[in-house]
Structure 1
Amino acid sequence: MIVVKLVGGLGNQMFQYALGRKLALAKQQELRFDFRFLERSLITSTPRALELHVFPAVEPHLIAASASQLRQSDQYLDSTLFKAYNRGRKLMGMTPAFSLTTDYYSLAYKPEFLQTQGELVYVDGLWQSERWFDQIAQSIRNDFVFPSFVSAPAQEIAPRIRTTNSVSLHIRRGDYLTEAEAAKYASVCSLEYYEHAIDEIVAKTGKDITVYVFSDDIAWAEQNLKVPYPCVFVKNAPSSLVMRICT
């Protein structure tokens, strides 16, 4: 059994899902997910929720791990006795009852992780390299196909984007400002950075543009971002569906 912990926004969840699919296919094991972080994080400064639902082909694979499977993973992390039992199984040449595979900060491809053995393999990390799943890249691309626009706000704004020289601009704030752990490895970009990036696009394309702004703090972006080009601050339409059609 492969159990993947889902954390973060859609981008992180896509990498975590892709590695889980790779492990499950390679080991011919069932794939399950631990959604608890997303459920708990709804009360944090940057709310997170399950966003993989946006891909219809992914939906059938989003099966929650059972309570007993999650309890086993928690026991391994918290119980010295359970860890000793697991080591004993390894020494006797038996498949470990549980294996933990984790990596958050190196973001490096470590192929030895793919050899992890266990009756239950718990996967916890970011896995931000396409090399983790390059052998099943086409299957992952098939899974990550966006649907047609379904929400009214998306249907309303899509024609405007398609009929202008549209530029997607995402301003990340949220936990990069408020959470100490996130601040250890990430920081917000300055307004000057965004303004210079837009100027670069105009200089290289020679086109009149319309900037479509997305943010986890859209009110701040609307108040502070000042550029000499038309700006649309997108507030209600699902960003993942809308950003992809900006030209």
Structure 2
Amino acid sequence: MNVIFLQGGLGNQMFQYAFYLALKHKHFDVECDISMLLHQKQHNGYELSRLFGIQLNKDCYLFNIVRLYYYCRTHQNNLLCSVILNILRRMNYELVLDTAPSSFFSDIVKTRKNLFLGYWQSEFFFKEIKNDIFHAFTFKIELLSLKTLSVLEDIKRGNSVSVHIRRGDYLLPENLQLYGNICTIEYYQKALTVICERVSQPSFFVFSNDIAWVK
């Protein structure tokens, strides 16, 4: 049995679920595990059910081993990481983190018994089933609030442009040096200028976890 451990926020969960569908398409015996999202409550927890009606209930008994591995990896305890990997191998599992898309399927197909960990942020992993992905990630109208439906109608009426401004955890000391130097005010100003040059009468819809700062 292959196991994909879902983690992170909505975008990462979508990548990981798309990865799962791609493996199913390749006839892998594979399941998704949402234990990390249920136990750690990262960001908003498991969101694929709330937004897309995707139900994933598997809770793998290997979760605690994987959680310990991540802890050791984060704290650069290479010795314990090696011990955990050896235990998994004795259980006939291999741990596969994010890998280069060009080599992915050739690497995975060799064993077909793995624990898949990572974010899989490339369409390479699922480009063969784009239509299936589009269908899976179509927002369910019945799940949308009246306020959201109203905004949706506004979006449909004009040349709408989505602007995503993420702050929140990007401002934490461990993230600020990297992300704080990427998502700058200058970056957004340049992006808006480019859009205005290419799109006639654009309407900007801003999505952010810090609306006060955006205003």
Q: Using structure 1 for the length normalisation, give the TM-score.
A: 0.67
Structure 1 unaligned blocks of 5 or more: 90-95, 223-247
Contact 1:169-1:213 within 8 A present in 2 as well: yes
Aligned partner of 1:234 in structure 2 is none
Gaps of 5+ in 2: 71-79
CA distance in 2, matches of 1:21, 1:35: 19
Distance 1:205 1:101, change over 3 A: same
**Contact persistence 1:172–1:217 (CA under 8 A):** yes
Larger radius of gyration: 1
Determine the structure 2 residue equivalent to 1:35.
35
Counterpart residue type for residue 93 of structure 2 = F
User: Structure 2: how far apart are the matches of 1:200 and 1:134?
Assistant: 28
| Alignment match of 2:152 (pick from 158, 162, 173) | 158
Q: Secondary structure at the match of 1:210?
A: strand
Number of residue pairs aligned between Structure 1 and Structure 2: 202
Alignment of 1:1-247 (within 5 A): 1-37=1-37, 39-42=39-42, 47-53=43-49, 54-56=51-53, 59-60=54-55, 62-66=56-60, 68-71=61-64, 73=66, 83-84=85-86, 87=89, 97-103=92-98, 108-111=101-104, 112-115=106-109, 117=111, 119=113, 121-148=114-141, 150-180=144-174, 182-183=175-176, 186-187=179-180, 188-207=182-201, 209-222=202-215
RMSD of aligned alpha carbons: 3.1
Quick one: percent identity of the two aligned structures? Answer: 31
SS at match of 1:127: coil
How far apart are the structure 1 equivalents of 2:20 and 2:2? 7
Aligned partners of 2:86, 2:132: CA distance in 1, in Å? 39
Q: State TM-score, norm by structure 2.
A: 0.76
Contact 1:2 1:24 in 2 (8 A): no
In structure 2, the CA distance between the partners of 1:49 and 1:118, relative to structure 1 (3 Å rule), is: same
Q: Which structure has greater helix proportion?
A: 2
What displacement does 1:213 show? Answer: 0.9
Q: Secondary structure at the match of 1:110?
A: helix
Q: Which has the higher contact order (CA 8 A, sep 6+)?
A: 2
Distance 1:185 1:206, change over 3 A: same
Question: What is the aligned partner in structure 1 of residue 76 from structure 2?
Answer: none
- Does the 8 Å contact 1:97/1:118 carry over to 2? no
Aligned AA (1:123): F
Letter in structure 1 aligned against 2:158: T
Does the CA-based 8 Å contact 1:169-1:214 persist in structure 2?
yes
SS at match of 1:162: helix
Deviation at 1:135, TM superposition (A): 3.1
What CA distance in whole angstroms lies between the structure 2 residues aligned with 1:113 and 1:190? Answer: 38
